[in-house]
Amino acid sequence: MKAIRINEPGNVELFDMPMPVRKPGEALLKILYGGICGSDLGTYRGTFAYAGYPRIPGHEFSAQIVEIDANDRGLEKGMIVTCNPYFNCGTCYSCERGLVNCCEHNETMGAQRDGAFREYITMPVERIYDGQGLSPRQLALIEPFCISYHGVSRANIQPGEKVLIVGAGTIGVLAAAAARAAGAEVYISDIADKKLDYAVEKFGLAGKILNDSPEHFHEAVAKITNGNGFDVTIEAVGLPATFLLCIDAAAFGARVVQIGVGKKNADFDFTLLQKKELNVYGSRNALQKDFLALIDLVKAGKANIERVVTNEYEFADAPKAFQEFSEQAASMLKVVIHFADPE
């Protein structure tokens, strides 16, 4: 079968590999759609903190069940599904306490272990979720929505609160959608004006802040919040500079959530955390309950997540997809790859 591999930064190829062999407790899946995550793009660029090479990317995907044994989850051959791609060890202190999303030895598909960007994969049955009739394209977007939703849930957002999302990539935009669904007044900031306009228009946000200079950013924050700062700020880029913007833009007693992943260290006035009595939350991966809740949410028509898709490529054009996404990231939001149609 064919698969996509990032051999080293800037080098993507399609290559032949053996078909996977299904083990007891696993299902054989045919990949239908896959989304290129910011971490996949970071692996391509050589900037992702957890990248290793060579690597088969991909942890946002939908698939069709080809082979599966009888199970207690109602999963059957032919079903269209999505999967939880975060493999936890089950034995560390985090796992013992049920915090499997922040396992100390976590291996996410496409990052610490090979991912789903190939024609067929095997997955443990307990990691497979019935798509409930959603389209393959929609199901490939559930995982990034889970990342955003999990981060937003950490902040316990209340109706009417002012929320700032820093970063207008897929995770940031979906975090904005999740915060808006919680009843917040949501603003989004980025250096890419086209992405901001797209996010505000497609997801009904309250407004945008173009981060074209520190002065303009802080002036806009002060104007929107009457000088008070935001009740919640969420970092969805993964850079020290954007994390510091979230600290600066937060009101006294506010909540700050860090979703973005980066490789650089932040150097900042840590006394601001004490002075403002900020509540700072890290957010990593997502939980089974997030997947199941969001499948239901999308099925109910309460979140049109397909609006984040700006570009689609065929499987054979995967190297082109990565190259163009890297070169045109300022104007491209979610990039998906069409692997196959269901049978």
Residue 49 confidence (pLDDT): 82
What would you report as the CA-atom Rg of the chain, rounded to the nearest whole angstrom? 20
Please give the helix or strand (H or E) that residue 130 lies within, else none. strand 128-130
C-beta neighbour count of 167 within 10 angstroms: 29
Q: Is the pLDDT higher at 204 or at 266?
A: 204
Q: How far apart are CA 8 and CA 93, in angstroms?
A: 34
For 219-277, give the secondary structure using H, E and C: HHHHHHHCCCCEEEEEECCCCHHHHHHHHHHEEEEEEEEECCCCCCCCCCCCHHHHHCC
Q: How far apart are CA 167 and CA 290, in angstroms?
A: 22
For 7, the 3-state DSSP assignment is strand
Residue 51 confidence (pLDDT): 82
Does residue 241 carry a pLDDT above 80?
yes
Segment 148-170 shows an average pLDDT of 96
Residue indicated by tokens 């939980």: 287
CA 285, distance to chain mean position in Å, is: 8
Does residue 66 carry a pLDDT above 80?
yes
Residue 147 confidence (pLDDT): 95
Segment 296-322 shows an average pLDDT of 95
Give 271-289 pLDDT, tens digit per residue: 999 999 999 999 999 999 9
CATH fit for domain 148-282, picks 1.10.3720.10, 3.40.50.720, 1.10.580.10, 3.40.50.970: 3.40.50.720
Domain borders along the chain are 2-130+305-338, 148-282
Q: How far apart are CA 150 and CA 100, in angstroms?
A: 13
pLDDT, mean over the chain: 96
pTM of the model: 0.92
Binned at pLDDT 50, 70 and 90, residue 56 comes out as very high
Binned at pLDDT 50, 70 and 90, residue 332 comes out as very high
- Whether residue 136 has a cis bond before it, omega within 30° of 0: no
For 280, the 3-state DSSP assignment is strand
Which range (188-192, 267-271, 282-286) has the least confidence? 267-271
Maximum distance among all alpha carbons in the chain? Answer: 61
Q: Torsion angle, CA of 61/32/116/139, rounded to 10 degrees?
A: 10
> Hey, what are 10's tokens?
């800037």
Does residue 34 carry a pLDDT above 90?
yes
Residue indicated by tokens 């700032």: 164
Q: How far apart are CA 60 and CA 70, in angstroms?
A: 26
Segment 215-225 shows an average pLDDT of 97
Residue 265 confidence (pLDDT): 85
> Hey, what are 215's tokens?
């002065």
Assigned fold of 2-130+305-338: Quinone Oxidoreductase; Chain A, domain 1 (3.90.180)
